[in-house]
Structure 1
Amino acid sequence: MFLVSDYDYDLPPDRIAQQPVTQRDSSRLLRLDRARGGISHHRFYDLPDLLRPSDLLVVNNTRVVPARLEGIKETGGRAGALILDYPGVRTEKGVICRCMVKASGRLRPGTRFLFEDRLSASVVDAADGLYTLCFSCDGDFDQTLFAVGRTPLPPYITRNRDGAPCDDRTCYQTVYADRDGAVAAPTAGLHFTPNVLDRLAAKGISTAPVTLHVGHGTFLPVRVSDIRDHAMHSERFEVPAATAAAINATRRDGGRVVAVGTTVVRTLEYVARTCGEIRAFSGACDLFIYPGYNFQAIAAMITNFHLPRSTLLMLVSAFTGREKVLAAYEAAIQEKYRFYSYGDAMLIE
């Protein structure tokens, strides 16, 4: 269970969702009993009827920043940049950000890029395949970025955005997102609607937020054969005091903490391991969860269907059991579920 090949499966290309369903909560929901391996099929709008009144849903309120920029090198040739650490560091010379850069030719310190609306950037230095850029513009940097930047999408979404039936700035964002900083959406939360949240509240099922700003590392492949040798990327997080109190009260009263997405799982488990309990805490999370991990914070989770050989699939396998997860994935493929970021969801309890 420690070989990366143990987390492989065959997925027909047409099962990769290229856009969301028209109504978020009409996406499908596979319910998996992790103790027995039982499977049942639902719609996401059934969620309030599947959970218990004593449950607490913990959501990730990070907001995806339009951090992808397209432009040219000052010397000619197309160039693109993806800002990884918004809001960056503000200096007198400009806004310093760590970026992924795609451009022709060698990029030396001082190489300058020109983007839309008089936004420009110059290379400060480079390390480990990433670049430090200094951005400047005539007006406010944040307003300019949000005006001209594009929503970063996962590489497996290959459709042409022009003329697409959905606006990714809206669709690739949870309805409760309010903390700018992510370059990828916490996709398990994309299925929620105000109506579902209202019905959950009416049933007595509470929600509480944490923040983990999802980074580009969520899409990086595991490049080692033994997953125990993989170094996990680090992401900024915060657990508010009110959320910590709600989690501890829920557990004390015998309720379940239900994590909405792997980002919430990693955040809560990191705090539990680091502090010995759930409490208000912030920092950088680099926890890699794979089979053999002893869960301390969560009792159930909602998650999407993940890529083969991914750290996300390994996390779900650690919580549920690899064989049960892969069996559920095979059932989902047979039932023509939609996979990955804009795809369907699972409730594992």
Structure 2
Amino acid sequence: MARAPKPLRRRLKWYLGILTFVGVYCWISVLATRWAFTSLGSCPQPCRDLGLEAASPEEKDKLAVYRPHCRPLRLELELYQPKAPIGTRYTLWYRISMTNVSCYKLGNLDASDFYQTAETAAMGYGRNWGRGLSLEITDPNGNSIEPVRYRGQSKFLYDGDNDAERALYEKFSLTDANSFFVLPPGESITTVPSTLHPLERVEAVDWSTGNHGERLIPRSIPPGAVVPPAGYRILDDRVFKRPGEYTIRAKFERKISAEPVLPYYHRIPNALLLGAAILNLYGLDFFPNVEWRLPHDYLVQVQSRELRFRVDRP
């Protein structure tokens, strides 16, 4: 049997080598891509998979808001003392911390709830305040104590701690025009404590232009004003009218965005990602579930444990 000419054999070996290289390259590319797009690394958080279950059946095939399979956030409420005065708007000293306990970057969170109170919002600062974080308080009869808004108020006793608020702005890259932020896995945000800083809103007139406006000016500290304990802020929007044992818990309800953190994705050389992309272009879909690794919106509802405190007559 006649053997193939040497030039033909060399050409066949060359083609076979190219095919082998392409095959190995594609195989490594697919393995590397799938690993990069599915591995969460050493994420120690308990909430590892939020799932893709639509919040309601009619939203299943739309750009839905999803119901998380696990709780991505943890709320912790602390009271400085489990007691409060009766018949006054300044009652409890409390602190709330919210921690991301998922393997996702959580966005569309509003920091206003953590550095504003009813009083500072009444000063004119709180445009977005009160849209996610709230307190649920019940009286001795189990009735809910609804918050009171002080829109017409002109005298204020407590303000937010400027240093703590500045640190919060720097940590989450906040601005006066944008209070939304992203909370990475394991990170926390804590309410800004209060400071004793009496202010009064007065009418101001620019005599050069004749324009009228308002501004806040300092006023003297009234007798009996309580100095804030370090790290806590004042509850200033509930009035307790009867003595007895009350309950309080923190609640958070908001539509947030969540994007899985894939620590190895940026470590894969572009040449390997290109191989899987070329295969996908020709109809060979070796990519993992694309939906899973894209950002999605989730309706998150979490609450802290319930605490008890007493309200007594003077």
Whether TM-score is above 0.5 comes out as no
Could you say which structure has the larger radius of gyration?
A: 2
Greater share of helix: 1
User: Whose relative contact order is higher, 1 or 2, with alpha carbons under 8 Å and at least 6 apart?
Assistant: 2
Higher strand fraction: Structure 1 or Structure 2?
Answer: 2
**TM-score, structure 1 length as denominator?**
0.20
TM-score (norm 2): 0.22
